[in-house]
Amino acid sequence: MSRSLRVHQDYIKKVKLALKRNGFARQKDLAEELGLSLTTVSNFLNGKAVDYVNFTEICRSLELDWKAIANLEEDSEPQDSLDEEEPLTSEAYIERVPHESQCYEAILKPGALVRIKAPLQMGKTTLLERVLHQAREQGYRTLTLSFALADSTVLTDLRQFSRWFCASVGQNLGLPNKLDEYWDDVFGCNTNTTAYFQEYLLPKTANPLVLALDEVDLVFEHPQIADDFCRLLRGWYDIARRGDRSSVLWKQLRLVVVHSTEVYRSLIFSSSPLGNVGLVIELPELTRDEVQELARRHGLEWGSTQVEKLMAMVGGHPYLVQLALERIRCQDVTLEYLLQTAPTEAGIYSDPLRRQLGNLQEHPELAAAFKEVVKADSWVNIESNWVFKLYSMGLVKLQGNEVMPRCDLYRQYFRDRLK
């Protein structure tokens, strides 16, 4: 199940010092860096409950050992209810239509596999939490495993990774580690992993189990394990659909796989490692009506003119829109000043822009292809491989075989930076 953690009272001073030590002048800076709400970061720094995945992600950014500072004695038990900062009750949350209802319908189906993918900060984690909440409402058991928790050594060896995966799922189910009883190196890692789930883990769950695998893109970065792990998940999906004796048990398992598509920039192939198996949810940008409703919920009495000006700069990117609305609501900036400085290092988007610039600079040929895109004033035809990678990074939009920058923010910033 999904868990919540809080910083132990003895370590609150330490985590606040870590904020400054790691270059974050304000709590808001850390929230923007991670794409989290300011409330979540504030709760973390003040010893209040924070979602398990967010807790560990903040610790990683602040170079803290999450196990050392967490109040494990109080908060280590799984919790069915969500914390008050969760997006389920947030007035600023816009339902993703029709993607939420599609996910809700899918997880009710035996042996379901749902894949939620998009570039960073498009709302994947928020959608995942809502899907898991819906599953709990149906009486299902839920468990979230983030691959961000795996050590780098785990992600470089298939045997170690497979055993870590099995042990982690078992631990979160509250079951003792019995890998040595079920593991036989005569067989391959996928066979052993399947046997451990089929013979030990799944029979222990009376109700359907929704297993959410978050940040799976971290696995994709390691070809020595990625191909086998993807074949494992596809194989489980196929077993549940076969209709034989073992499929009855596998129908109890519903998989939700969440990953950022930005990792595709580094992959040698031009397609998703998981193919098209299961229900694939690719989160789109917000529409004009959704942005206007979001502005209203932020207390901004905007008409169509203000909405169109903002969207002309950042499109309907959820995080970029949300950041602008929050800053304007807090009166940190005006819309006019925000638009004027947006594509510069002095603007509020400097951090995500520099992150994307760094991604491009790691791959000079990809940067050169995007340079041709931002130089043009209309749609551009470039090599298919670059189209796939730039689209996966969220930098371009498609029209047939042609592309253009996803928004004017990217056109202006990268036209200057990729000279």
Shared domain check, 220 and 108 = yes
Shared domain check, 269 and 204 = yes
Shared domain check, 325 and 249 = no
The total number of structural domains in the chain stands at 4
Q: Which of 19-28, 145-154, 276-285, 305-314 has the lowest mean pLDDT?
A: 19-28
Shared domain check, 273 and 129 = yes
Give the Å distances, CA to CA, from 78 to 201, 261, 298: 17, 30, 33
Q: 98 in a domain, yes or no?
A: yes
Shared domain check, 205 and 156 = yes
Shared domain check, 303 and 181 = no
Shared domain check, 271 and 294 = no
Q: 89 in a domain, yes or no?
A: no
Shared domain check, 270 and 206 = yes
Q: Which residue has the higher pLDDT, 270 or 124?
A: 124
Q: 78 in a domain, yes or no?
A: no
The Cα–Cα gap between 253 and 256 comes to 10
* In the predicted structure, residue 85 carries a pLDDT above the cut 50: no
Question: Residue 91 in contact with residue 326, Cβ under 8 Å?
Answer: no
pLDDT band at 83 (very low <50, low <70, confident <90, very high): very low
pLDDT value of position 75: 41
Domain extent at residue 326: 288-341
* Domain termination site, one of 263, 282, 301: 282
Q: Which CATH number is 158's domain given?
A: 3.40.50.300
Handedness of CA 295, 33, 267, 358 (dihedral sign): positive
Q: Which of 59-63, 170-174, 200-204, 351-355 has the lowest mean pLDDT?
A: 59-63
Report residue 180 as tokens: 């040595």
Shared domain check, 215 and 306 = no
pLDDT band at 31 (very low <50, low <70, confident <90, very high): confident
pLDDT value of position 386: 94
pLDDT band at 270 (very low <50, low <70, confident <90, very high): low
pLDDT band at 1 (very low <50, low <70, confident <90, very high): very low
